């Protein structure tokens, strides 16, 4: 490469850094029923014109396919960041169809859901290779020391990619974000209620800081 | 229950470790790994587990480990080799149940004859 080409490339890089809108591909990860899709829908509700990712349900593994929304622009901290958001299926190490039958699903429906849920976990894992950062959504009422949380955090640390912990379900009386903070003190955490939207502005500011 | 030494694990490739673990767990064994797996190996183990789940045969694994520990020399840290796996217990989901877990202790319950 000649000196002129090198200078042009270097100059182009600087111009991009100064003027280009910051962009990041982030994945929403977490165990089933942590509120990932509720949060994804909340982000779209706040920053797009009424779009949504999908249905939410008390039955685990409602999201069984990763869903992607490109070009979601979030304005916070006086700057803007453009996000490609991937709402991933809940990560799990075990899937038993009987768990779904306890929610009233028929046996064939439960078996079908279990099969799709296993595929969803694999899809969520594949997405880890293609992200700039992760929002790890945890249920603040549950024990944070789940293997899914430990594994996702370990994976992002090994890849040296930014991770922001979202302590969700703060609207519930037994929510304990302090327990999450004590479990993973090395990572930033924002307590929110994706359902009610409480403290969501703090999350947007943290997203702009972490992924911008 | 099989306790697998760190020396044995160090001589194995990631795929060999995952295959060994899954074969043992599918036979109903509880596996304790002295040095655990890397975070990438843990993810690959979960992925492989999902492909092997069968209705009424195998519903997955219970796996518990401590968060990775940063250690090693300056060069290890420089080249990203500083995250060491830690002791890990893995078993069939229908036999091994975690009762309590914190930074320093994992309490599990093992059901036999299930």
Residue A107 inside a domain? The answer is yes
Question: From residue A188, how far is each of A91, A114, B29 by CA, in Å?
Answer: 21, 33, 38
Give the model confidence (pLDDT) of A46-87 as tens digits: 999 878 887 777 888 888 889 999 999 999 878 889 999 999
**CB B89 within 8 Å of CB B30:** yes
Contact residues, chain A, for B65 at CB < 8 Å: 147, 150
For the cut 70, the answer to whether the pLDDT of residue B85 exceeds it is no
Determine, for residues A93 and B61 on separate chains, whether the beta-carbon distance falls below 8 Å: yes
3-class DSSP assignment, residue B56: coil
Provide mean pLDDT across the span B55-68: 86
Decide if A181 is inside a domain: yes
Count of the separate structural domains present in chain A: 1
Which residues 25-84 of B have a C-beta within 8 angstroms of A?
38-40, 42-43, 46-47, 49-51, 53, 55, 59-68, 80, 83
- The Cα–Cα gap between A72 and A41 comes to 12
DSSP B47: H
Q: What is the mean pLDDT of residues A18-41?
A: 86
**pLDDT (0 to 100) of residue B80:** 52
Nearest to A202 by CA among A160, A162, A157, A170: A170
Alpha-carbon gap: B4 to the closest alpha carbon of chain A (Å): 20
Q: Strand B2-4 and strand B31-33: pairing? A: parallel
| CB atoms B47 and A154 under 8 Å | no
**A16 is a domain residue:** no
Domain of residue A77 covers 22-211
Indicate which CATH number applies to the domain containing A163.
3.40.50.300
Lowest mean pLDDT among A8-17, A28-37, A68-77, A186-195: A8-17
């Amino acid at each position: 490469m000649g000196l002129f080409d090198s200078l042009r490339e270097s100059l182009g890089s600087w111009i991009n850094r100064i003027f280009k809108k910051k962009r990041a591909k982030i994945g929403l990860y977490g165990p089933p029923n942590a509120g990932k899709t509720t949060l994804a829908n909340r982000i779209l509700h706040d920053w797009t014109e009424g779009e949504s990712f999908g249905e939410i349900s008390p039955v685990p593994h409602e999201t069984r396919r990763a869903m992607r929304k490109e070009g979601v622009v979030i304005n916070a901290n006086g700057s803007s960041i453009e996000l490609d958001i991937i709402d991933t299926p809940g990560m799990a190490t075990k899937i038993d169809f009987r768990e779904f039958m306890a929610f009233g699903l028929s046996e064939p429906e439960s078996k079908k859901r279990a099969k799709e849920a296993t595929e969803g976990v694999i899809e969520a894992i594949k997405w880890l290779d293609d992200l700039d950062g992760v929002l790890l959504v945890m249920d603040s009422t549950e024990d944070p020391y789940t293997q899914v949380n430990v594994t996702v955090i370990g994976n992002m640390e090994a890849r040296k990619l930014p991770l922001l912990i979202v302590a969700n379900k703060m609207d519930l009386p037994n929510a304990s974000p302090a327990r999450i903070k004590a479990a993973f003190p090395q990572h930033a955490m924002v307590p929110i209620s994706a359902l009610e939207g409480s403290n969501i502005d703090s999350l947007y500011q943290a997203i702009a800081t972490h992924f911008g | 229950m099989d306790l697998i030494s760190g020396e044995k694990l160090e001589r194995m490739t990631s795929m060999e470790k995952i295959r060994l673990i899954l074969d043992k767990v599918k036979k109903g064994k509880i596996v304790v790994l002295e040095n655990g797996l890397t975070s990438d190996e843990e993810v690959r183990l979960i992925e492989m587990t999902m492909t092997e789940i069968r209705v009424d045969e195998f519903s997955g694994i219970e796996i518990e480990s401590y968060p990775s520990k940063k250690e090693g020399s300056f060069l290890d840290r420089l080249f990203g080799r500083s995250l060491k796996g830690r002791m890990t217990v893995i078993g069939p989901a229908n036999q091994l149940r975690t009762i309590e877990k914190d930074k320093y202790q994992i309490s599990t319950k093992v059901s036999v004859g299930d």
